[in-house]
Amino acid sequence: MAHVVTDKCTGCKFTDCVEVCPVTCFYEMDNQVVIHPDECIDCTACVDVCPVHAIYAEPDLPAEFTKDIEFNAVEANKIKDVSGEPIMKKKDPLPGALDKKKALGY
């Protein structure tokens, strides 16, 4: 089972997670990152570094985020099919990310 980036990442796109990932399973969208389920090795390194607690191990995923399992798989595959390149280096978060982090209570 893979880890899942939930929609809590949408509008933030903190990329602390990609820096600690020992494999290259994160793919970048305009508003967030997603995890490719076939490339994730379930190491949990990304979970604790996410500033908005948007990443969960699939068995620990709260029910309101189950839709994000398919979303991660579909979007990661789309990106991989088009560009083939995962995100491997930390980037600046989106404008407003700190405000969203605060709104989420972190």
| Residue 97 falls inside a structural domain | no
Q: What is the mean pLDDT of residues 69-81?
A: 96
84 confidence band (pLDDT: 50, 70, 90): confident
CATH number of the domain that 65 lies in? 3.30.70.20
Q: In terms of residue numbers, what domain contains 34?
A: 3-87
Q: Which residues contact 40 (CB under 8 A, 6 or more apart)?
A: 2, 3, 23, 25
72 confidence band (pLDDT: 50, 70, 90): very high
Q: Is residue 25 predicted with pLDDT exceeding 80?
A: yes
What domain count does the chain have? 1
Look at residue 82 in the predicted model and tell me its pLDDT: 92
Q: Tens of pLDDT along 3-14?
A: 999 999 999 999
